[in-house]
């Protein structure tokens, strides 16, 4: 980092206090923003927008779906440098049966507890405070530094699809999902699929007059478990964790004394960059063909689960480990944490894939550590909130460049 950058970083760093970062994350956690809240992300988006404006940062609300706006903020550069987008989602999963008060955040033993503290109001708060730091330090960047606080990541990625279609466009981006300060330039693609099995109803006392859809589903399950799953486990990737398949939901039949004429399985398939999405479908069709050869009455249909995707396929994310953003993150993590940076692969799917693939904005996942995303006890490490803010700040200066 140049002396000029270093000075600006020091100024930006000093201008933001640890307690302020924690307070912002707590304030974000206090506002429920999950799918069961009638106004969903609206209130938290307004809060963040007003917070940023209160700091003198240029911020606007862009409606994605009725009453569900993204917050787009920017520290404008002088126009010469590369631009960077910091992306985080404002929605969370519902509290379900949490063992802690979900929306009364509490800090205890270096952990900030609450629904969404880790996934991902922690990362989002650190990103917002990065812009605040630059603004307070009156730091001048060459390239633009954007913050996009997006809606619907836990649903259909509505917010990030909107960024892909309508901008803003940057040269590269960071998604602040929790990675425990590991740099994760890649992850698998994701398909949620529905498999419908069709039988023929009959009285249970005359079951041989019917065709049982549950029995067909059982044969399918067996083929997946005994044949497909072991093959996928061996399908290693150069970039990501191995391919997987998970049978998540099964429903079917009406009552005990009827032959079930319908059964459905919902499955989750994580595919590696070396696979093609067509292959995901073809392997299921191959099972159908095999089961049909064994029993010509076998009848099944495969469809995409309409619940998890708008228009863009959930492709894998692949950014080269030698990309300047990865290298910049490595340098920053080393200098902020004093430890050698770890470059690994994210286990889940994230909006990073949409930005990398469809917006041609190479995007890396990097965020704080903690535990319990989507679980009964969720927390983010407060120390990591501070470290993340510093890493994001250093990377922003590094990528965007300090202007005189
Ligand atoms: Zn998340």
Annotated active-site residue 177? The verdict is: no
310 is a domain residue: no
Q: What are the residue ranges of helices labelled H in 338-381?
A: 352-358
CATH number for the domain spanning 228: value is 3.30.70.360
Which candidate, 189, 193, 262, places its Cα nearest to that of 224?
193
- pLDDT higher than threshold 90 for residue 10: no
Domain boundary among 304, 339, 365: 304
Domain boundary among 243, 269, 304: 304
CATH number for the domain spanning 160: value is 3.40.630.10
CA angle 43, 89, 140 (to 5 degrees): 95
Span from the CA of 365 to the centroid of ligand 1 (angstroms): 11
> One of 22, 41, 91, 171 is an active-site residue; which one?
91
Q: Which pTM was predicted?
A: 0.93
Q: Which whole-number Å values give the CA distances from 78 to 9, 55, 134, 383, in the listed order?
A: 17, 20, 14, 33
114 is a domain residue: yes
Same domain membership, residue 126 and residue 36 = yes
Same domain membership, residue 142 and residue 224 = no
Query: What's CA 147's distance to the chain center, in Å?
Result: 16
Angle between helices 382-400 and 324-337 (to 10 degrees): 130
Domain hosting residue 207, numbered range? 193-304
Same domain membership, residue 113 and residue 17 = yes
pLDDT at 9: 80
What is the pLDDT of the chain when averaged over all its residues? 95
DSSP β-ladder status, 363-365 and 172-175? parallel
Same domain membership, residue 343 and residue 299 = no
382 is a domain residue: yes
Tell me the C-alpha distance between 362 and 326, whole Å: 10
Same domain membership, residue 248 and residue 177 = no
Beta bridge partners of 189: 271
Span from the CA of 89 to the centroid of ligand 1 (angstroms): 7
> In this predicted model, what pLDDT tens digit does every residue of 179-229 receive, in sequence order?
999 999 999 999 999 999 999 999 999 999 999 999 999 999 999 999 999
Span from the CA of 80 to the centroid of ligand 1 (angstroms): 33
When pLDDT is averaged across residues 110-124 and rounded to a whole number, the result is 97
Confidence of residue 44 (pLDDT cuts 50, 70, 90): very high
Same domain membership, residue 41 and residue 179 = yes
pLDDT at 379: 98
311 is a domain residue: no
43 is a domain residue: yes
Assign 3-class secondary structure to 220-269.
Answer: HHHHHHHHHHHHHHCCCCCCCCCCEEEEEEEEECCCCCECCCEEEEEEEE
Annotated active-site residue 268? The verdict is: no
> In this predicted model, what pLDDT tens digit does every residue of 272-295 receive, in sequence order?
999 999 999 999 999 999 999 999
Span from the CA of 120 to the centroid of ligand 1 (angstroms): 5
Tell me the C-alpha distance between 330 and 339, whole Å: 10
321 is a domain residue: yes
221 is a domain residue: yes
Same domain membership, residue 167 and residue 82 = yes
Q: Is the dihedral of CA 276, 277, 280, 285 positive or negative?
A: negative
pLDDT at 373: 92
- pLDDT higher than threshold 80 for residue 352: yes
Same domain membership, residue 153 and residue 171 = yes
pLDDT at 4: 75
Span from the CA of 395 to the centroid of ligand 1 (angstroms): 21
Span from the CA of 19 to the centroid of ligand 1 (angstroms): 24
Same domain membership, residue 120 and residue 206 = no
Span from the CA of 291 to the centroid of ligand 1 (angstroms): 38
Tell me the C-alpha distance between 202 and 210, whole Å: 5
Other C-beta atoms closer than 10 Å to the C-beta of 275 total 19
223 is a domain residue: yes
When pLDDT is averaged across residues 363-381 and rounded to a whole number, the result is 96
Which candidate, 247, 241, 242, 243, places its Cα nearest to that of 225?
247
Domain boundary among 304, 334, 364: 304
pLDDT at 311: 83
Confidence of residue 91 (pLDDT cuts 50, 70, 90): very high
Same domain membership, residue 132 and residue 55 = yes
Same domain membership, residue 180 and residue 328 = yes
Span from the CA of 181 to the centroid of ligand 1 (angstroms): 15
Same domain membership, residue 268 and residue 234 = yes
How buried is 290 (Cβ within 10 angstroms: 0-12 exposed, 13-18 middle, 19+ buried)?
middle
> In this predicted model, what pLDDT tens digit does every residue of 17-26 receive, in sequence order?
999 999 999 9
pLDDT at 12: 83
Span from the CA of 399 to the centroid of ligand 1 (angstroms): 24
Q: How many domains does the chain have?
A: 2
Confidence of residue 1 (pLDDT cuts 50, 70, 90): low
When pLDDT is averaged across residues 370-377 and rounded to a whole number, the result is 94
> One of 153, 177, 261, 398 is an active-site residue; which one?
153
Q: Which whole-number Å values give the CA distances from 263 to 207, 214, 252, 266, in the listed order?
A: 16, 6, 4, 10
């Amino acid at each position: 980092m140049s002396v000029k950058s270093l000075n600006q970083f020091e100024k930006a760093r000093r201008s933001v206090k640890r307690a302020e970062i924690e307070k912002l994350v707590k304030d974000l956690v206090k506002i429920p923003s999950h799918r069961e809240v009638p106004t969903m992300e609206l209130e938290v988006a307004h809060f963040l927008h007003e917070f940023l404006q209160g700091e003198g940062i240029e911020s606007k609300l862009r409606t994605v779906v009725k009453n569900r706006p993204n917050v787009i903020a920017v520290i404008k550069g002088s126009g010469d440098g590369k631009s960077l987008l910091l992306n985080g989602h404002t929605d969370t999963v519902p509290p379900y049966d949490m063992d802690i008060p979900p929306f009364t955040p509490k800090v205890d033993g270096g952990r900030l507890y609450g629904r969404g503290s880790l996934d991902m109001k922690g990362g989002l708060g650190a990103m917002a405070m990065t812009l605040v730091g630059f603004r307070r330090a009156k730091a001048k960047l060459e390239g633009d530094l954007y913050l996009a606080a997006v809606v619907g990541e836990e649903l259909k990625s509505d917010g990030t699809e909107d960024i892909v279609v309508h901008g803003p466009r940057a040269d590269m981006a960071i998604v602040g999902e929790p990675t425990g300060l590991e740099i994760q330039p890649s992850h698998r693609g994701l398909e949620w699929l529905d498999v419908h099995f069709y039988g023929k109803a009959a009285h249970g006392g005359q079951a041989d007059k019917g065709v049982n859809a549950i029995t067909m589903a059982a044969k399918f399950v067996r083929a997946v478990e005994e044949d497909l799953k072991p093959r996928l486990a061996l399908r290693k990737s150069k970039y990501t964790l191995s391919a997987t398949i998970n049978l998540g939901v099964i429903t079917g039949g009406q009552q005990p004394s009827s032959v079930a004429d319908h059964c459905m399985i919902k499955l989750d398939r994580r595919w590696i960059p070396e696979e093609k999405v067509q292959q995901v479908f073809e392997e299921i069709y191959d099972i159908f063909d095999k089961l049909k050869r064994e029993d010509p009455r076998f009848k099944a249909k495969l469809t995409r689960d309409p619940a998890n995707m708008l228009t863009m396929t959930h492709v894998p994310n692949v950014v080269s480990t030698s990309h300047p953003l990865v290298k910049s993150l490595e340098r920053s993590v080393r200098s902020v944490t004093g430890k050698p940076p770890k470059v690994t692969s994210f286990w889940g799917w994230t909006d990073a894939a949409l930005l990398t693939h469809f917006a041609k904005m190479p995007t890396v996942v990097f965020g704080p550590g903690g535990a319990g995303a989507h679980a009964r006890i969720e927390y983010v490490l407060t120390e990591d909130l501070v470290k993340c803010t510093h890493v994001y700040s250093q990377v922003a200066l590094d990528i965007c460049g300090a202007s005189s």
